Amino acid sequence: MLLPAWELCLYGLLTVGSHLYAFYEAHQVSRKYEAAMDRRFGLEPGTLFRGLKKDPMDFEWSYWIEWGRERILWLLAGHLLVSQTSRLLVEKYKPWCLMVYGMAACWLLLGIKGFAVILLHAAISFAVAQFQLSLLTWLCSLILLSTLRIPAVEETKRKWYDTENEYYLLLFTVSVRCLFCTSFSLEYCWHAPTQKSSHSFPWMLAYVFYYPTFHNGPLVNFDEFSKQMRRQEAFSVKTNLSILIVGIIRIFFWWCLAELMIHLMYIHALYSSALPLESASYWALGGLALAQVLFFYVKYLILYGVPGLLLQMDGLKPPALPCCVSLMHSFTKMWRTFDVGLHRFLVRYIYVPMGGSQSSLLGTLLSTALTFAFVSYWHGGQSYLWYWGALNWLGVIVENGTKRILSISLIQDLIERFFSPRFRRRLHAVLASVSTSMLILSNLIFLGGNQVGKIYWNRIFMEGWPWATLTVLGFLYCYSHVGIEWEQKYAAH
């Protein structure tokens, strides 16, 4: 522990206290505009928390909760039954039992045409992979991904379904399947002919139609999936049952927490209206920002936690769940620890093949830029996503550039000679607070759009200079100390 215990306790108290007070202010502004938000967006009557109204404006949360309640959770329960039965009786054929079940579930939810689209994507990707050219594989993947945004194709697919929700389910599923097809195809290109038996078309189908990750991820690279699925382990019903019960309790707690947040704070409804954001106090503005990013975090604990639990039940190791955003103190850490599966995909298939950190400065800039360009395009390619991608690219570049400069032996010697370890730790937190402020801004653009990002930039950094800006950076300085200390203790264990 570099810093005195009293100092770390002070940072911890200021972090927790500022979170709670900011949430209180966000709750107050939600109550103030409740009638206006109800008239404009139709707040829903509270079900879990009676007497409170619920903010229904987070499309992703409402969408997956509705689908989960109606069909997907039942199909996941069916997958669990097939998986545990096959592990108990026919372990050798487990991948093929799960493949057949995944295909049947796809057919049931998306219809024969939706099933045919995903099967066609897989077949085209596999055929192109036979040329064993990574560039050609990537070109094929981008073309298949681009077909999701051709208006004529979109209209044709819409006609297949009775509701927009059904069409969106196909759209989201195919978007995620594109990444799985890309992973398989690139691994096929990179493996020697003697290893091709483990990269056959049936294995591709087992991977693409694996149901727990089918609609929304998390992303698991093909080699990890294949190695773990082939591995036969001792099966214990008692152990698996305890994992299932603990997992369900944990996910239920997260769901209750997410529901409580959107009952107490109308985050998404307020973000859809500029007036409340422009007139709210700085504390309320900060509380809404914290609530927005923390709700996103809790939401993905659930959306990735449910399939992650099923992966564990299947004997696979799921990607780690997202790290708490209140502990984030750099762009680099956020990308490494929030969506671990996506990060591994981007590093393995884009960043490293393009040269990564081992190439020249220009090569690093290019490989990082291509990585964020792909992420922005895959998420939808709207203008606010390009701004979000550009801010993240700039943040990662500046952080890595600073690390490179500070790692020069001459500069390291000077720093160690003139600055104590405690001073260096505090300087680290100062730099991290600036990085965190830009990280939060970029996430607000991602979650709320350009208008929300512009309002926060103007109010905090332009109109609020110097006192509001320095106050925000001061609290982020405390958050950074807590995040750095947590990271060091976690790494030590």
**53 beta partners:** 45
**Alpha-carbon span 383 to 388, nearest angstrom:** 9
Question: Beta-carbon neighbour count of residue 445 at 10 Å?
Answer: 24
The answer to whether 318 and 220 are in contact (CB under 8 A) is yes
Angle, CA 213 vertex, CA 304 and CA 263 arms, to 5°: 35
* Residue 113 CB neighbour total at 10 angstroms: 14
Q: What is the dihedral of CA 91, 93, 97, 98, to 10 degrees?
A: 70
Contact 141, 185 (CB under 8 A): yes
Distance CA 143, CA 254 (A): 38
Other CB atoms within a 10 A radius of the CB of residue 116 amount to 12
Q: Catalytic: which of 263, 379, 481, 493?
A: 379
Say how far apart CA 43 and CA 41 lie, in whole Å: 6
Q: Do residues 453 and 441 lie in contact, with contact meaning Cβ atoms separated by under 8 Å?
A: yes
| Block mean pLDDT (10 aa), the chain, length 493 | 90 97 97 93 85 92 95 97 92 94 97 97 96 96 95 95 96 97 95 76 97 96 93 80 96 96 95 91 96 97 97 94 94 95 97 85 91 96 96 95 88 88 93 96 96 96 94 97 90 54
| CB-CB contact of 183 with 349 (8 Å) | yes
Residue 52 C-beta-side C-alpha neighbours within 13 Å: 17
Question: Is there a catalytic annotation at residue 121?
Answer: no
Please give the pLDDT value at position 213: 97
